[in-house]
Each structure stands twice: as structure tokens, then as C-alpha cells.
């Protein structure tokens, strides 16, 4: 697909902020024209023309929200999805811990209701089901919603919205707890989505929302978290304004290591007390200049520096006769490979734990995807770890490969061999 064939139903550009509707004028970085990061290719699709779309990051100077100027249709992105959360032990452990905490803190019982927005394959809600706490998952990906329902996690295959929330409330389905992990960044109608949370949440309820933290993205050079699914990149400053507009309050905030650095927000109705951690982090962001273009100025330069270092390292290894594979057919991996121009000239194949991805090819770079056992079969000298956000988990899983002399290359924030 070329830019000339874009249709309004598939792609458009926004010119006002998704949160406050101010004009978007301050460009932070342009990554060029990229394929959709999770659009893996079947073998018969390799000869077809591949869709690619511009990828530009902007700062709203009015409310501090960092965001893409591009919208690719959510129906194109999410109707049939390849990302299953249950394949990550790290994600499962985090889900188990937060479900246990909320069950205890809120005294959830058999007459309570826990709702998850973008519930994926039931990876989180399964822990509530095990305690006989009623749940409802909402996820637009039909294939993944079907998997969740098969494992006993009641799931609607729908896009969440204020209108859907109103329908659920009319059916006496108001939530004690709403989970929304790594979905807020994916939502084009951001204000409508947050207003839906306000409608669906009981007066005494709590929404637990996790988002990748833009400060970590900038300061750790995590440019590969930028892709078309991630429309927004959040600071607490931008989030505070967003939720206030919807009649909600950030009552507490935690910083997490997961996904290279995330925020976990505890959202309530306005009559709840607010933790001192919220004010402290807002003040920290003010001091570092999160709302000013200058804070982001060097970001584009670090991308080019990292590209030069990593490509040079891979070329040096190839010239020395070394074989190189990659681990993780992930969205961030797609961004890194395509921005850096890394393909079959430098890498032999990719492995991924998700069986749903095996047998397909990576977008743009067209690398075949195999099961992780391929590393022991082929014994590549080096493996480029594209899913560096799960580094400790994957390195532990690959003890056998490493014990036979295999080495991993960690690409972010700068190339490192382990």
C-alpha cells in the first residue's frame, strides 16, 4: 500500500490534541514511513505490496501530551491480533500480584464486579475467576476474545467507549474495579474512553491503569516503543489533566519497571483522598520541563547514534563470519528493525515464544519466525534481543543456549553484549 492509496476508513492525520483539542504543531521526531508493527505476514503474503504509514511524534504544548499525528484504523490494527499476554511470565506475575492486592484492599466478593478493558486472553481476570469474583473482559480482537471465553473468562469482543459503558450500566453492570493495562495509549477517541471509565466505575470503585512512562522512553532512549498502535505517550502531568476533565481523580501513582518503565495509576471519583506521591511526581516533571519542547530536543539524535552503533556492531560480527538471529517478533522489535534498516542481510531468523506468531514473517524486514528451540538447533553465535523489556525472563529461559556459548545483544539504550 502506498500513501496515494490511503482511504479515510484506513488512515487519517489529526491536527488537534487527543486530550485537550489544542493545535498540534510541535514535532519531536519523525521515524519515516513504517509498516504496522504487529502485522505479521503469512508466507503467501510476502510477494504482496505491504502497507506502510507515516510515523511522527508531536508534543501538545497546551496539556503536555506526547502523541502521534497519525491514526490508522483500529479495525485494521486490532481485529485479528497476534499479541497474547499469557506468553509472558513477567506479565502473568504482575497480573497475579495486582489482582491479589485489589481483592484484599477492596474486599471483593461474589457480588462484586471486576472489568478489564483490552483484557486480551484473560491473563489478568483469570486470577479473579479463581476466587469466584465475577469478571467481564472487553477486547476488540475476536480471535483473542474467543481464547479468553474458552478459558472461562467472560469476554465481550467490542471496542470500549462511553456508549458501551452506558449500556453496561443500564444492565446493572457497574464495576468495583476497572483494569486497563497498556490500552490507554492505543485509543484514538481518548476523551470518550476516559469518560466511559467514569460512567462504568462505581462511586466507591477504583480504576487501575498502567501506561508506559514517557520520561523513561525519552531518558532511556526507548524509541522502539513508538509505533502506530501507540497513539499517546504519557506523563503524569498530561494524565492528571485528562482525568480531571472527565470528572475523575488520580488518587495514587506507582512507578513500575515493566515495559521499560511504566506508571500504575489508581483512579477514583473526586471525593477520594490523594496520595502525596501524586504531587511529588507532578513537581518532578515540572522541574525537568516535561511540558517544554526543549526536554525532547536530543531524542531524535540519540536514535541516530544508536542506529550507527548497532548496525556497525552487527556488520562487524557478520564480516567476522558470525551468525546472528533475533529474539522477539514484537511491535518494538518491528520498529527497531525497520528504522535501523536491519533485515535478512544481517539477521538469519527470529524466534518467539508465542505459537500464534510462529510460521509467519516480520513486517518490513520479512524474517521468518520460529519457536525458541530453533536457537539450540541452529546455534547462532549471537541473538539480538528485540524484547529487551523482558530481558531477565528471556535470559533465564535461554540458559541452555547461553551455556553452549550463545550471546545476546541488548540494543536499548545502547548496544551491549551479554
Are 171 and 143 in contact, with CB atoms under 8 Å apart?
Answer: no
pLDDT at 88 over 90: no
Are 212 and 182 in contact, with CB atoms under 8 Å apart?
Answer: yes
Average pLDDT value for residue range 330-337: 95
Which of 141-145, 164-168, 181-185, 186-190: highest mean pLDDT?
164-168
Indicate yes or no: pTM above 0.95: no
pLDDT digits (tens, 9 = 90+) for 127-151: 999 999 999 999 988 888 899 999 9
How confident is the model at residue 84, as a pLDDT? Answer: 60
pLDDT at 96 over 60: yes
How confident is the model at residue 143, as a pLDDT? Answer: 85
Rounded to an integer, what distance in angstroms lies between the CA atom of residue 128 and that of residue 40? 32
What band does 201 get if pLDDT is binned at 50, 70 and 90? very high
How confident is the model at residue 91, as a pLDDT? Answer: 81
Rounded to an integer, what distance in angstroms lies between the CA atom of residue 340 and that of residue 312? 11
How confident is the model at residue 6, as a pLDDT? Answer: 53
How confident is the model at residue 323, as a pLDDT? Answer: 98
Rounded to an integer, what distance in angstroms lies between the CA atom of residue 353 and that of residue 372? 6
Between 328 and 141, name the one with better pLDDT.
328
How confident is the model at residue 9, as a pLDDT? Answer: 65
pLDDT digits (tens, 9 = 90+) for 108-121: 999 999 999 999 99
Query: Which residues share a beta bridge with 30?
Result: 56
pLDDT digits (tens, 9 = 90+) for 33-56: 999 998 899 999 999 988 889 999
Average pLDDT value for residue range 213-236: 95
Average pLDDT value for residue range 6-27: 86
How confident is the model at residue 1, as a pLDDT? Answer: 34
Closest to 30 measured CA to CA, from 389, 259, 304: 304
Question: What percent of the chain shows pLDDT beyond 90?
Answer: 83
How confident is the model at residue 81, as a pLDDT? Answer: 55
How confident is the model at residue 82, as a pLDDT? Answer: 57
What band does 3 get if pLDDT is binned at 50, 70 and 90? very low
Average pLDDT value for residue range 391-415: 95
Mean pLDDT computed over every residue of the chain: 93
Cell of 33: 514511513
Between 325 and 90, name the one with better pLDDT.
325
Please, what is the angle between helix 190-200 and helix 162-170, to 10°? 20
What band does 12 get if pLDDT is binned at 50, 70 and 90? confident
CATH topology of domain 85-296: Rossmann fold (3.40.50)
How confident is the model at residue 191, as a pLDDT? Answer: 95
Name the segment(s) of the chain with CATH classification 3.40.50.720: 311-417
pLDDT digits (tens, 9 = 90+) for 236-287: 999 999 999 999 999 999 999 887 899 999 999 999 999 999 999 999 999 9
pLDDT at 4 over 50: no
Rounded to an integer, what distance in angstroms lies between the CA atom of residue 210 and that of residue 120? 14
Please, what is the angle between helix 299-319 and helix 331-340, to 10°? 80
How confident is the model at residue 111, as a pLDDT? Answer: 96
How confident is the model at residue 258, as a pLDDT? Answer: 80
With vertex at residue 39, the alpha carbon angle to CA 35 and CA 43, rounded to the nearest 5 degrees, is 105
State the alpha helices, DSSP H only, in 189-235.
Answer: 190-200, 214-219
CATH number for 311-417: choose from 3.20.20.140, 3.80.10.10, 3.40.50.720, 3.30.43.10: 3.40.50.720
pLDDT digits (tens, 9 = 90+) for 291-324: 999 999 999 899 999 999 999 999 999 999 999 9
Name the segment(s) of the chain with CATH classification 3.40.50.150: 85-296
Amino acid at each position: 500500500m502506498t500513501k496515494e492509496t490511503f482511504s479515510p476508513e484506513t488512515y487519517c492525520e489529526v491536527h488537534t490534541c487527543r486530550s485537550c483539542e489544542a493545535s498540534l504543531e510541535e514535532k519531536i521526531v519523525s521515524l519515516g514511513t513504517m509498516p504496522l508493527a504487529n502485522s505479521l505476514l503469512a508466507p503467501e503474503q510476502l510477494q504482496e505490496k505491504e502497507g506502510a504509514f507515516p510515523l511522527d511524534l508531536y508534543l501538545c504544548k497546551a496539556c503536555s501530551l506526547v502523541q502521534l499525528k497519525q491514526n490508522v484504523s483500529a479495525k485494521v490494527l486490532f481485529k485479528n491480533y497476534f499479541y497474547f499476554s499469557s506468553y509472558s511470565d513477567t506479565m502473568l506475575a504482575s497480573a497475579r500480584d495486582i489482582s491479589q492486592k485489589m481483592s484484599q484492599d477492596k474486599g471483593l466478593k461474589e457480588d462484586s464486579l471486576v472489568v478489564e478493558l483490552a483484557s486480551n486472553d484473560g491473563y489478568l481476570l483469570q486470577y479473579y475467576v479463581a476466587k469466584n469474583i465475577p469478571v467481564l473482559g472487553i477486547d476488540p480482537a475476536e480471535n483473542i476474545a474467543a481464547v479468553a471465553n474458552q478459558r472461562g473468562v467472560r469476554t465481550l469482543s467490542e471496542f470500549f467507549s462511553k456508549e458501551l459503558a452506558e449500556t453496561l450500566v443500564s444492565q446493572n453492570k457497574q464495576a468495583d474495579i476497572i483494569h486497563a493495562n497498556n490500552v490507554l495509549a492505543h485509543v484514538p477517541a481518548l476523551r470518550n474512553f476516559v469518560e466511559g471509565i467514569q460512567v462504568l466505575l462505581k462511586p466507591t470503585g477504583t480504576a487501575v491503569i498502567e501506561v508506559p512512562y514517557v520520561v523513561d522512553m525519552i531518558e532511556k532512549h526507548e524509541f522502539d516503543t513508538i509505533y502506530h498502535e501507540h497513539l499517546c505517550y504519557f506523563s503524569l502531568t498530561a494524565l492528571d489533566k485528562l482525568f480531571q476533565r472527565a470528572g475523575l481523580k488520580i488518587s495514587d501513582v506507582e512507578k513500575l519497571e515493566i515495559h521499560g518503565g511504566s506508571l500504575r495509576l489508581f483512579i477514583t471519583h473526586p471525593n477520594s483522598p490523594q496520595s502525596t506521591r501524586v504531587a511529588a511526581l507532578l513537581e518532578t516533571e515540572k522541574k525537568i520541563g516535561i511540558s517544554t519542547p526543549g526536554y525532547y530536543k536530543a531524542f531524535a539524535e540519540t536514535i541516530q547514534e544508536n542506529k550507527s552503533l548497532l548496525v556497525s556492531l552487527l556488520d562487524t560480527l557478520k564480516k567476522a563470519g558470525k551468525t546472528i538471529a533475533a529474539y522477539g517478533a514484537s511491535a518494538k522489535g518491528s520498529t527497531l528493525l525497520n528504522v535501523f534498516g536491519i533485515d535478512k542481510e544481517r539477521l538469519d531468523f527470529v524466534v518467539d515464544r508465542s505459537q500464534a506468531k510462529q510460521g509467519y514473517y516480520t513486517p518490513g524486514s520479512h524474517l521468518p519466525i520460529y519457536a525458541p528451540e530453533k536457537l539450540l538447533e541452529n546455534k547462532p553465535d549471537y541473538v539480538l534481543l528485540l524484547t529487551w523489556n523482558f530481558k531477565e525472563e528471556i535470559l533465564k529461559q535461554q540458559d541452555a543456549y547461553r551455556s553452549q556459548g550463545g550471546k545476546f545483544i541488548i540494543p536499548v539504550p545502547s548496544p551491549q553484549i551479554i
